[in-house]
Structure 1
């Protein structure tokens, strides 16, 4: 079973609000004997979907952005053993033991929940967003629609998902400037692709419909 180390910087670029990597402040603190977590990935997925493991490595050598370390986990399937020396770069470090000054930001991305139509997730685009009063723990009150849903689609609760706001930000992070606006507010994308607040939104119809 051949394996390689995933480039977490590339994975982060693909999903910058849901795939965590340590901040530069944290990475600059690393020293010999610290522990870091790397993603060991198989070249080919197993029949049951197995693609590798995230495992801790104890740093034994640092040369700029290049590292060596000893594997500190016993792999479940990978053909390597506890104590194996691994060469890796800063681009492979997925986690450290240091407290990250960006932790609050990441907590917001993962813990703030929004309602989204399945059509948004399929198309990876949305053109309407609305903030109602929150309902339940973690709920932000935000809902997102692609703008292509018809009335029948919108009336079926099975067409909606609850996801972290980071999932939406991966699609379009231009909405960050609006996410702290208090309820009740609604926005739609204009012809230039920018979100504008709907000043005359029918809140009575929405709340009492």
Structure 2
């Protein structure tokens, strides 16, 4: 078989703040006739695509085990056809047609933006955070640095990205304890790996 079903639980564990999975409340109410979305992954990638998300209509349920029929034709998996029976488990369901009571937290992780240096993303590490006044409704006001950037790096705007806050939380979610603190504030990681507030940060120089 040239494809397999992705475990969304595994993907969520790897990226808990950027890979959405339906809440258990939603999984529990799924019944025959409902539509669910699964991720079909190619064993051999086709045209650069790693997989396809497709809807399946549930025809049978036994606890966490399901059967259903594929509701659309895949683009790149010739072994799959619309109407084909698919066996799957709850761990394979990446979306449903139900309103998820936990969806609001995902909106925050996806829609709230931060400024982050490319060095943070390359190292998968950050050690300094500064919060200025937000520029718009999506902007959190936070800027995030690895702590290894030099002045030349910091002076080049191309070295920074405006991304979802969930990306940073995937690296270290301990910052949730102060993420909603109002500006102006700055935090730095100490030698024990814990963030502390910089009480004497030079805001006058920063704002100038």
Give the TM-score range, shorter chain. Answer: over 0.9
Q: Which runs of 5+ in 2 are unaligned?
A: none
2:146 aligned residue: 146
Counterpart CA distance in 2 for 1:114 and 1:95 is 26
2:205 matched residue in structure 1? 205
Q: How does 1:1-12 map to 2 (within 5 A)?
A: 2-12=2-12
Give the ranges of 4+ consecutive aligned residues of structure 1 lying more than 4 Å apart after TM superposition.
none
Match of 1:184 in 2: 184
Find the aligned partners of 2:186 and 2:51 in 1 and give their Cα distance. 43
Deviations 1:129-166 (A, max 9, x none): 01000113411100000000011110110100111000
The count of residues paired between Structure 1 and Structure 2 equals 207
The DSSP-based 3-state class of the residue aligned with 1:75 is: coil
Aligned to 2:76: 77
Give the whole-Å Cα distance in 2 for the aligned partners of 1:141 and 1:185.
10
Aligned partner of 1:89 in structure 2 is 89
Where 2:49 maps in the other structure, the secondary structure is: coil
Equivalent residue, structure 1, for 2:59: 60
State the 1:73 CA deviation.
1.1
Within 5 Å, which residues of 2 pair with 1:102-117? Answer: 102-117=102-117
Q: 5+ residue gaps in structure 1?
A: none
Residue 78 of structure 1: how far off its partner (Å): 1.3
Question: RMSD in angstroms over aligned alpha carbons?
Answer: 0.9
Measured in 2, the distance between the counterparts of 1:116 and 1:52 equals 29
SS of the residue aligned with 2:45?
A: coil
Compute the TM-score of the two structures, normalised by the length of structure 2.
Answer: 0.97
Q: What's the counterpart of residue 49 of structure 1?
A: 48
**Could you say what secondary structure the match of 1:44 adopts?**
strand
1:191 Cα offset (Å): 1.1
What is the distance in 1 between the residues matched to 2:150 and 2:198? 20
Q: Distance in 2 between matches of 1:18 and 1:31?
A: 27
